[in-house]
Structure 1
Amino acid sequence: MEQSRSRREHPRGVSRGLGRKTRRCKASVLGLLAIVLAGSSFAQPSGYPNRPVKMVAPFAPGGPVDVVARVLAPKLSERLGQQFYVENHPGGSGNIGTALVARAPPDGYTVLVISSTLVVNPSLFARLGFDTTTDLAPVSLVGVSPQVLLVHPSVPATTVKELIAWVKASPGQHAYAHAGLGTPGYLAGEMLKQAFGLDLTAVSFNGGGPAITSTIGGHTPILFTSISTAAGHIKEGTVRALAVTGARRSAVLPDVPTLAEAGAADQESEIILGVLVPGGTPRDVIARLHREIVTIVASPHVRERLLALGFEPIASTPEEFAARITWEIDKWARVIRAADVKLQ
């Protein structure tokens, strides 16, 4: 199967456009923008915020979403003069905490910090308990992180083209590891399979740690994973990096080409981190939060923390983030449909 020739422009959140959009995609963008721009019937006290603000991290403590929420919270507290505090509401691949925010009063006192599950889950779950494009209002992207394509050193491939040829030479004989259905590594693997017609088995593990351990051991010789997870192992030589999935090379792995540079165009995928509030939140509250988050993300300390987590700091306007969300939902819906993933 030849690789798809249709190219879709990648909206990174600041200056890139959407490229081609379906009618559904356009409608969703308009819906998100309406949320951002619309006023609210809720009376909004002057001088927001005038009481503590809850930041919801819909995952367990210790992961990137939780860490970023706990980086942003004290900075927002300092700048806005009220306490911003983090609550973890894990479960349902992020759906439980996200639904809590979607159903909260649209007054700016409940804030969501979220990752790529926001744009993947609409295609993985039959019922989310909320509508991503109407029940939530984007505030800003915070950062994006490409993944890295790894192979065990025994794999006779030093380029992506050689890896594809190796897999095609033995259909159904090779496997790639991933951290669970619907995770970024799983989706990147399925997208590569679909683009090149690869007969490659997906093997699920309970998290990124066990997945890379299996690849290091040579049991599942191929893996897409986060750069922060892989960097130390690449340096030690226990895995070989073939490409990164971003639009440009990673500062952490400057010698590793992008998939496009390696001959696999239209394979870009990044993990996103962003901030949203309930749909209908007054636009002046969204604007206030946006201004402060942009300033915080640009500060040296926060930039360093994000880079240490493997994320490129990127602040966006609410409208740019809305467009990015719609673009990502549409993109992963196509991949998930083609992979024939059963809805949860």
Structure 2
Amino acid sequence: MNHTAIIRTCRYLTCALFMALGAKGAFAWTDKPVRMIVPAPPGGTIDIVARIVADELSTQIGQPVVVDNKPGAGGSIAVRSMLSSPPDGRTILLTASNVLTEVPQVLNVGFDPLKDVKPVVALARGVMVFVGSPGVPARDVKGVVAWVKANPGKLSYASYSSGTASQYAGAMFNKEAGLDLTHVPFPGSVPALTQVMGGQVPLMFDGVVTSKPLIAAGKIKVFGVASKTRWPQLPNVPTLAEQGYPDIDFRNWTGVVVPAKVSPALTEKIHAAVSRAAATPKVHDRLVSVGFEPMPDQSTAQLANDLRVEFERNARIVKSLDIKAD
């Protein structure tokens, strides 16, 4: 049994256990509507996950779960909105981990991601892909490098915000390949990809969820996966490691976090309810279909430790590359 099959089996068993323990609503932590803040515009990677999860979570807890998009400032607007709400569990944040572990390294976000925020559930993991405009005269990373070097000072790469893995990966590629690409940040994947499709900004490191359908439709090219292992849903696309860039390895998780002031008891109730929703075949299969790798359930303590490790790794990257906000 492969890794994905094991995760799927565990999720299904968890779901069956939850369903056996009580009827719908038994895991509700509130008798009022829940606001799920999303630090991205509609249609972006995190928004896709939020709407998949919110729909099932609403069914499971018997309360409306309203998605509230608050993009901008690398996600810090959304985090601050959550932190300004009462810590009663009625306001949660569904975010990619990079909002907490990458952006604060570069931008003044106005919160401490390791003290003010508490991770609750990691739902799925995504990977970065190196993509480009259809008109880029290259089929792989080697070809991209040759093309950029033949056009010194003329080319750029997009990111879905300053201080994110999208910028980090581009900066690492720039340095390791000896290139002079200019960084052009955008407020989210969708506006950035629009420019890449149109050729205004030819290159980008993006999350696989938003890039995958465009790759399939031939609207953008894919040159590699920013990981040490190939992504199951793009089995024929070589990794950056295979093409000589093993350090460009970015796989953020996406999940639910709450303010650190939320009580441990309430945090565990939210954890149980969201985990129950994620365990359903409907959510599992939908996450896989859009390009995510579902994750096994972790305790809040384990997730907090993972967050700290990721934060410290990104701090080292920023320092070594002297990455700054653009």
Pairwise TM-score range, normalised by the shorter structure: 0.7 to 0.9
Output one character per residue of 1:169-224: Cα deviation in whole Å (capped at 9) or x when no partner: 66545432334423442221112223343332223456544544544455543322
Alignment of 1:118 onto 2:127: no
* 1:198-277 map, 5 Å: 198-205=179-186, 207-237=188-218, 239-277=220-258
Distance 2:277 2:291 in 1: 18
TM-score by length of 2: 0.76
Q: 1:282: Cα distance to partner?
A: 2.8
Output one character per residue of 1:46-96: Cα deviation in whole Å (capped at 9) or x when no partner: x86242233322444443333433332343343334444433444433223
| Corresponding residue for residue 274 of structure 2 | 293
The 8 Å contact of residues 127 and 252 in structure 2, kept in 1 or not, is answered as yes
Match of 1:320 among 288, 293, 302: 302
| Corresponding residue for residue 131 of structure 1 | 112
Secondary structure at the aligned position of 1:255 is classed as coil
Gaps spanning 5+ residues in structure 1: where?
Answer: 1-13, 16-46
The 8 Å contact of residues 36 and 94 in structure 2, kept in 1 or not, is answered as yes
TM-score by length of 1: 0.73
The 8 Å contact of residues 74 and 84 in structure 1, kept in 2 or not, is answered as yes
Distance 2:288 2:68 in 1: 24
Distance of aligned partners of 1:200 and 1:64 in 2 relative to their CA distance in 1, 3 Å threshold: closer
| Corresponding residue for residue 8 of structure 1 | none
Alignment of 1:331 onto 2:313: yes
| Corresponding residue for residue 309 of structure 1 | 290
Distance of aligned partners of 1:103 and 1:237 in 2 relative to their CA distance in 1, 3 Å threshold: closer
Counterpart AA for 2:255:
G
Counterpart AA for 2:57:
L
Distance of aligned partners of 1:166 and 1:50 in 2 relative to their CA distance in 1, 3 Å threshold: closer
Alignment of 1:51 onto 2:31: yes
Distance of aligned partners of 1:97 and 1:227 in 2 relative to their CA distance in 1, 3 Å threshold: closer
The 8 Å contact of residues 212 and 291 in structure 2, kept in 1 or not, is answered as no
| Corresponding residue for residue 17 of structure 2 | none
Deviates more, 1:258-267 or 1:48-57: 48-57
Distance 2:37 2:193 in 1: 29
Output one character per residue of 1:242-285: Cα deviation in whole Å (capped at 9) or x when no partner: 21123432233221122222321121113431111121433233
| Corresponding residue for residue 44 of structure 1 | none
Distance of aligned partners of 1:90 and 1:148 in 2 relative to their CA distance in 1, 3 Å threshold: closer
Distance 1:216 1:90 in 2: 22
Match of 2:76 among 59, 79, 95: 95
Match of 1:147 among 128, 131, 140: 128
Q: What is the percentage of aligned positions where both structures have the same residue? A: 35
Q: 1:109: Cα distance to partner?
A: 3.1
Number of residue equivalences? 300
Distance 1:86 1:258 in 2: 34
Distance 1:277 1:331 in 2: 23
The 8 Å contact of residues 74 and 162 in structure 2, kept in 1 or not, is answered as no
The 8 Å contact of residues 103 and 135 in structure 1, kept in 2 or not, is answered as no
Match of 2:260 among 264, 279, 291: 279
